[in-house]
Structures are given as structure tokens and as C-alpha cells.
């Protein structure tokens, strides 16, 4: 399910801290067998998957993309609130982006796949702070 054009993705590489954390993850996942491995198509999620040392092939799915915020993409909530003082992703329209329902549908799709798995599952999705 591709919910937005690829050119709208903020596809940035892992930071040095992110690379160290992904390398540390390899120790926690070593020797584990996963029935299902899913990754966002974004480079930082795929790089985390590669550095984590998971040997099973990952299913690349846009269902694990972060919320596309349209005109707010790449702008922090505090920066947005300089123009719209009470702005929240939950209470204001996301102009040019995904609705909460669309994001919920993508999350439900992933949750359904995980729920049907009979064994361990690992997901790699981007995280922002």
C-alpha cells in the first residue's frame, strides 16, 4: 500500500548514534530466528535491519513508513506552533498529507500480519525525535 509519492519521503541515513544503536541491536538479536521480518523502505530502517544482523530476508513495506505530514513535513511541532499556537497532529488538518485514518489503516495492516505469525517477528521502522 503506497500512500504517498516517494519524492515526498524524508529519506535520511542513520546518524552516528543510530549506527551505534543498530550495531548494539545485533547482540540482542544474535541467534534468533524470525518467522516474519518487515522493514520500511526508508534507508535508515533498512540500514538498521542490515546492521542488526538478522539473517532472514525482510519484506519491504510502505505500511511501516512514518506519518506523512504534508506541508508540515520536516518541520517540528514546536516550529509549527510558532505559526499555529495550538497545533497538534491530532487536532488539525494535515494539509497535503495523510489522515489519521490512513495512518491507522497502515498500522492495522502491520498489526494483522504480526498477529497471524506463529513465531517471532521483528519490524524495522524509522524513528524520529
Domains of the chain are 14-124 (3.40.50.1240)
Residue 128's pLDDT is what? 58
How would you write the pLDDT of the chain (129 residues) with one tens digit per residue?
Answer: 334 444 445 677 888 998 999 999 998 998 899 999 999 999 999 999 999 989 899 999 999 998 888 888 888 889 989 988 998 888 888 888 898 899 999 999 999 999 999 999 999 997 754
Q: Which grid cell sits at 11? A: 529519506
**pTM of the model as a whole:** 0.80
Assign 3-class secondary structure to the chain: CCCCCHHHCCCCCCCHHHHHHHHHHHHHHCCCCCCEEEECCCHHHHHHHHHCCCCCCCEECHHHCCCCCHHHCCCCHHHHHHHCCCCCCCCCCCCCCCCHHHHHHHHHHHHHHHHHCCCCEEEECCCCC
User: In this predicted structure, what is the pLDDT of residue 119?
Assistant: 95
Do residues 121 and 34 lie in contact, with contact meaning Cβ atoms separated by under 8 Å? yes
Q: Tell me, what's the pLDDT at 9? A: 55
pLDDT for res 89: 83
Tell me the pairing of strands 121-124 and 36-39: parallel
Specify the pLDDT at position 1. 35
Amino acid at each position: 500500500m503506497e500512500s504517498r509519492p516517494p519524492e515526498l519521503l524524508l529519506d535520511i541515513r542513520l546518524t552516528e548514534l543510530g549506527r551505534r544503536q543498530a550495531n548494539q541491536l545485533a547482540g540482542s538479536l544474535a541467534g534468533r530466528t524470525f518467522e516474519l521480518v518487515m522493514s520500511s523502505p526508508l534507508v535508515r530502517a533498512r540500514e538498521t535491519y542490515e546492521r542488526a544482523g538478522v539473517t532472514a530476508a525482510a519484506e519491504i513495506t510502505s505500511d511501516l513508513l512514518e506519518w506523512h505530514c504534508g506541508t508540515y513535513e520536516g518541520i517540528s511541532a514546536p516550529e509549527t506552533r510558532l505559526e499555529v499556537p495550538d497545533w497538534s497532529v491530532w487536532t488539525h488538518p494535515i494539509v497535503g498529507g495523510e489522515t489519521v485514518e490512513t495512518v491507522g489503516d497502515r498500522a492495522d495492516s502491520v498489526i494483522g500480519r504480526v498477529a497471524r505469525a506463529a513465531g517471532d517477528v521483528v519490524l524495522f521502522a524509522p524513528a524520529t525525535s
